């Protein structure tokens, strides 16, 4: 929609928070694998959501380390800095500049209906949850709309936030004239919610999962395999896909299908007549291979932090070429006057 689009390829945009030492299987299969694929035929903008991570008040030294680890993991996963702008959110001040405008267009009640805020603030305790955590989806709307993306590859848990972004785009356009595209969530069935291994009705989460509920991409392969083998399963012993009555075994079946890039039906057929243990051992092997090679690739990127910084700087420069004119246009449209 913005006339400054320099390429005819559609755009893809997404972000991930540096809220842990490692990303997990849910982040990879729910989001990052799609980021990598979309690079082939999209102009891609991918960022480390360091400002979002501040909403939960990390220790400064911890946050710094996690930002570098995030960059290394995204590269290890296949984000290609030659084809995608890979950057830190905080290096592109336009994100917070646009967020303020959207803060002023969002209703208090509307923001209060975000289920992720309700969950996370309930966990933190009402007095401890920050205002930043409350307004996070509004900053996220700015993150997205700045780049005029066609597709936003995310997990199912982000669907409501995406809807807010779409509403804000529409509201802004209505008040100030056609400016923003309403982006489509790009959520793949089957990988949209990778479940917690110990609590298979909840999603795997960096900040909420217990250590045994989550397989980190940087886990030691043996430890990762053990977590899979000790995943909670359901009563009975028949291997059958039924998320309602058999959430544990269904989660494992769907993870197996995801890794093997096949259908759940094919996996069920493969294990027909076998016991839970057989599926677990086979899946544990697949996961151990995956994290083993992922860890090696990540460590090689972490060996050269100066190169990581150079990649992030180049990505930020590319992002600012797009984001700068958008903020100028928006500030103009809402009636701010240009400074000297
Ligand atoms: P946090 O607990 O700090 O919010 P997170 O694990 O939810 O961390 P985010 O950085 O918030 O990870 O999200 C990054 C991306 O990963 C988003 O697109 C999100 O939808 C996706 N994602 C997160 N968890 C899962 C999951 N269990 N299954 C599928 N996708 C997921
Ligand atoms: Mg999250």
Tens-place pLDDT, residues 103-151:
999 999 999 999 999 988 888 877 788 999 999 999 999 999 999 999 9
Give the residue ranges of the chain where pLDDT is below 70.
1-7
If you take atom 8 of ligand 1, which residue's CA is the nearest one?
206
pLDDT at 2: 47
* 3-class SS letters over the chain: CCCCCCCCCCEEEEEECCCCCCCEHHHHHHHHHHHHHHCCCCEEEEEECHHHHHHHCCCHHHHHHHHHHHHHHHHHHCCCCCCEEEEEHHHCCHHHHHHHHHHCCCCHHHHHCCHHHHHHHHHHCCCCCCHHHHHHHHHHHHHHHCCCCCEEECCHHHHHHHHHHHHHHHHHHHHHCCCCCCCEEECCCCCCCCECCCCCCCECCCCCCCHHHCCECCCCHHHHHHHHHCCCCCCCCCCCCCCCCCHHHHHHHHHHHHHHCCCHHHHHHHCCCCCHHHHHHHHHHHHHHHHHHHHHHHHHHHCCHHHHHHHHHHHHHHHHHHHHHHHHHHHHHHCCCCCC
Confidence at residue 6, expressed as pLDDT on a 0 to 100 scale: 54
Instruction: Indicate which residue of 193, 206, 227, 246 is catalytic.
Output: 206
203, 227, 246, 280: the catalytic one is 203
Residue whose entry in the numeric block shows the structure tokens 């390829």: 9
Binding residues for ATP: 17-19, 26-27, 155-157, 194, 203-207
CB-defined site of ligand 1, < 6 Å: 16-17, 19, 26-27, 30-31, 154-155, 157-158, 192-194, 203-208
203 as an active site residue: the answer is yes
Binding residues, by number, are 17-19, 26-27, 143, 155-157, 194, 203-207
Pick from 20, 154, 157 the residue to mutate for probing ligand 1's pocket: most ligand atoms within 8 Å of its CB: 157
- C-alpha 278 to ligand 2 mean position (Å): 32
Q: Which of 184, 191, 176 is nearest to 334 (CA)?
A: 176
Active site residue 280: no
Q: In ligand 1, which atom is closest to the CA atom of 205?
A: 6
Active-site entry in 120, 193, 227, 280: 120
Which ligand 1 atom is nearest residue 193's CA?
28
* Residue 246 annotated in active site: no
Given this model, what pLDDT does residue 78 score?
98
Ligand 2 center–CA 205 separation, angstroms: 7
């Amino acid at each position: 929609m913005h006339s400054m689009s320099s390429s005819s390829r559609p755009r893809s945009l997404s972000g991930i928070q540096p809220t842990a030492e490692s990303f997990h299987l849910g982040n990879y299969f729910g989001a990052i694998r799609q980021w990598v694929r979309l690079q082939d035929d999209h102009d891609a903008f991918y960022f480390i959501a360091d400002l979002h991570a501040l909403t939960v008040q990390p220790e400064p030294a911890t946050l710094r380390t996690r930002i570098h680890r995030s960059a290394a993991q995204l590269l290890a996963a296949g984000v290609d800095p030659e084809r995608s702008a890979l950057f830190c959110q905080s290096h592109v001040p336009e994100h917070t500049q646009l967020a303020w405008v959207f803060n002023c267009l969002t209703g208090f009640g509307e923001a209060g209906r975000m289920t992720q805020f309700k969950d996370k603030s309930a966990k933190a305790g009402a007095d401890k949850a920050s205002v930043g955590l409350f307004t996070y989806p509004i900053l996220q709307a700015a993150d997205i709309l700045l780049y005029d993306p066609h597709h936003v590859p995310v997990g199912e848990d982000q669907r409501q936030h995406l809807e807010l972004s779409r509403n804000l785009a529409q509201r802004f356009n209505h008040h100030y004239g056609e400016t923003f595209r309403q982006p489509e969530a790009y959520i793949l069935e089957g990988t949209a919610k990778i479940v917690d291994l110990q609590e298979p009705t909840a999603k795997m989460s960096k900040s909420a999962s217990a250590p045994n509920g989550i397989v980190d991409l940087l886990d030691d392969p043996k430890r990762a395999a053990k977590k899979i083998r000790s995943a909670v399963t359901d009563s009975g012993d028949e291997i059958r896909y039924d998320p309602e009555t058999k959430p544990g075994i269904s989660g494992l079946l769907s993870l197996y299908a995801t890794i093997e890039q096949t259908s759940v039906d094919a996996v069920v057929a493969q294990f027909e007549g076998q016991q839970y243990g057989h599926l677990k051992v086979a899946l544990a092997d697949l996961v151990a291979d995956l994290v083993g090679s992922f860890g090696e690739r990540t460590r090689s990127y972490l060996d050269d932090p100066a190169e990581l910084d150079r990649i992030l700087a180049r990505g930020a420069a590319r992002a600012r070429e797009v984001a700068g004119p958008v903020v100028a246009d928006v500030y103009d449209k809402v009636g701010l006057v240009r400074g000297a």
